[in-house]
Amino acid sequence: MATGNHSSPTAPSLTIAPRRNWRLRAALIVAVLLVALLATFWSSIRGYGQTGASYGARVACSCRYAGGRTLSDCRKDFEPGMELVTLSEDAESKSVTARFALMFAQTATYREGSGCVLEPWKR
């Protein structure tokens, strides 16, 4: 048996450099906080989004089909702060769809004698 000095190769270090480590932890903390905030306020955001889309659809539908104005002219009737509401119309069914921030949509349809009627909210 040989009793020579056998040197074993050193194992690679599995630690992350300190600079990367704090950045990774900070990014993780920020991500967790953003998810927590979104979860906390989601019902409020959803309520405001659905209400804004419903208001936009109803006002624009009435303006367009009861008032006979163009859809672009109907945007003048919106309240301040409704810049995120987009409008589209279906002339064949006499309806206007409003979308709030591309997340929530609502459609109002013109019915003779009743005016513009909103579709029920989808949950």
Query: Does 61 fall in a domain?
Result: yes
Asked if residue 50 lies in contact with residue 104, where contact means CB atoms within 8 angstroms, the answer is yes
More confident residue, 55 or 2: 55
Per the domain annotation, does 100 fall within a domain? Answer: yes
pLDDT, the chain, mean: 85
Pair 117, 108: CB distance under 8 Å: yes
- Residues 39-68 have a mean pLDDT of 91
Greatest CA separation found in the chain? Answer: 106
3 part of a folded domain: no
Q: What angle do CA 111, 90, 92 make, to 5 degrees?
A: 65
In a domain, 15, yes or no: no
**Any domain includes 109:** yes
The pTM score is 0.67
- Say if 69 falls within a structural domain: yes
Measure the CA angle with vertex 35, ends 34 and 36; round to 5°.
90
Which structural domain range is residue 63 located in? 34-118
Q: Is 85 exposed, middle or buried (0-12, 13-18, 19+ CB in 10 A)?
A: buried
Give residue 44's pLDDT band: very low, low, confident or very high (50, 70, 90): confident
How many structural domains is the chain composed of? 1
Q: Between these two residues, 57 and 11, which has the higher pLDDT value?
A: 57
Question: Are the CB atoms for 117 and 62 separated by under 8 Å?
Answer: no
What pLDDT shows up at residue 16? 52
pLDDT (0 to 100) of residue 103: 86
